[in-house]
Amino acid sequence: MPSKSLERWTRQQCFDVSPVFVWSVSMVTAIAPTMDGGIWLSSGLSIHQSDPTAKFKAKLGAVEMAAGTTSVHRSMSNFYPSTKPGGGFGRPRRVGHRVVRCCEVGVGVAEKKTVVVKNGNDSLEICRVLNGMWQTSGGWGRIDRDDAVESMFKYSDAGLSTFDMADHYGPAEDLYGIFINRVRRERPPEYLENVRGLTKWVPPPVKMTSNFVRESINVSRKRMDVASLDMLQFHWWDYSNSGYLDALKHLTDLKEEGKIKTVALTNFDTERLQKILENGIPVVSNQVQHSIIDMRPQQKMAELCQLTGVKLITYGTVMGGLLSEKFLDTNLSIPFAGPPLNTPSLQKYKRMVDAWGGWSQFQVLLQTLKKVASKHSVSIPTVAVKYILDQPAVAGSMVGVRLGLSEHIKATNAVFSLVLDEEDVSSIQEISKRGKNLLNVIGDCGDEYRR
């Protein structure tokens, strides 16, 4: 692709790394967010924040996809060196642990934790609550590799053993590779059988040749230290470029070779999902944004999924933490009166709140969720996740993890013992419907990345 064309594309995708503006970009082969909020380029350039008060951007919430390019895998393992004496990953330790299977009940759990996503002969069992690793890419605090991997063990030991990442989520794939290598050495075989690593591939708009697709996937396989990817979720920026069908056919070939176990999508709309299925691509799931205020997947996508068996994996379900007690009874219109929106996810989903109905309306929703949560002795995020897991066609929901910085294992596991009754569901539905229909505001699933 000519350099000017790639430059235009780079501008288009990078300006949403909130709050980063890109003014000039030369020919590049890799882009990724730096720890201080800039953008790392393989050419050695570093483009940094130029307008911290940037206005609402045309692409609602296109933050996490902005860094996807051809070779974003390269050099990422050096972003987060260990801060412990001597560096490195620490001496391997073999510690006796009780193996908690993802489908096991912790404390009186009435619901199985796992679900099988499948299409034809392709299938994969995953935890219904997935550990989202976007938070390792920068913007949520500095990640220490040792602490991050230890945190992954904590989640996995507690039965939350499905991790979701992407080629452009900073060192996420590398961290998983370190983690899975230690699992092989330090845990029994049955423990390994329950661990899942789902990744995404977000290529630039270049010609999707078999060789290009193969080389790209091989990078993820190497970083994650696996012979076969459990799931490869594919994203495409521009529907006017039909190259996404070529890419998916090549991915299907790699699946047949055993390099990928299941092929899936992320951020595809209903029309393109149907077209992909009509072309014989055996996708098992589509990862889309879905929360109590963003019910778009239930308006068109879910019907097609129920007809075809394709499942939905949702993200943005707790809206980066906005759907929590932390933001209850706050007024963000008064400077410094409320919690700061100091992460890319909080900034992204605040824009969704604005599009849906505004902060005052959102407070009414939080108050409703707090009543439901108090009734069941759980937290607001637990209610928010359970509500979406109960929606048609939803196989699993993402909860972001700030590995080594904070954890919410207890609250997450509480999802599986929570049963929302008719009164709970009715009260949530009533306030959810007061807001604007985001299908009319934004468009179908994934359209926020293509506006």
Tens of pLDDT along 326-366? Answer: 999 999 888 777 899 999 999 999 999 999 999 999 999 99
User: Does 55 map to a domain?
Assistant: no
pTM here is 0.79
pLDDT of residue 451: 78
* pLDDT over threshold 80, residue 25: no
pLDDT of residue 8: 39
pLDDT tens-digit profile of 201-220? 999 989 999 999 999 999 99
User: Does 200 map to a domain?
Assistant: yes
Mean pLDDT (whole number) for 364-382: 98
User: Does 130 map to a domain?
Assistant: yes
- The residues, ordered by sequence, that sit 6+ positions from 250 with a Cβ below 8 Å of its Cβ are 208, 209, 210, 213, 214
- The pLDDT > 70 percentage for the chain reads 75
CA–CA distance, 276 with 110 (Å, rounded to integer): 36
User: Does 261 map to a domain?
Assistant: yes
CA–CA distance, 438 with 295 (Å, rounded to integer): 8
12 and 131 part of one domain: no
User: Does 376 map to a domain?
Assistant: yes
pLDDT tens-digit profile of 26-58? 333 344 443 333 333 333 333 333 333 333 333
30 and 107 part of one domain: no
Mean pLDDT (whole number) for 76-97: 40
26 and 147 part of one domain: no
Give whole-number Cα distances, 92 to 163, 184, 264, in Å.
Answer: 21, 11, 34
pLDDT tens-digit profile of 308-326? 999 999 999 999 999 999 9
22 and 130 part of one domain: no
274 and 380 part of one domain: yes
pLDDT of residue 111: 65
Mean per-residue pLDDT of the chain: 82
* pLDDT over threshold 80, residue 19: no
22 and 138 part of one domain: no
| CATH number of residue 338's parent domain | 3.20.20.100
Please give the tally of structural domains in the chain: 2
Better pLDDT: 5 or 187: 187
Q: Which amino acid is located at 437 in the chain?
A: N
pLDDT of residue 3: 42
> Sorting pLDDT into bands at 50, 70 and 90, what band is 110?
low
25 and 149 part of one domain: no
Q: Which of 257, 367, 265 is nearest to 313 (CA)?
A: 265
Domain that includes residue 26, residue range: 3-47
Count how many Cα atoms sit within 13 Å of the Cα of residue 388 in the half-sphere of its side chain: 32
144 and 251 part of one domain: yes
User: Does 59 map to a domain?
Assistant: no
User: Does 70 map to a domain?
Assistant: no
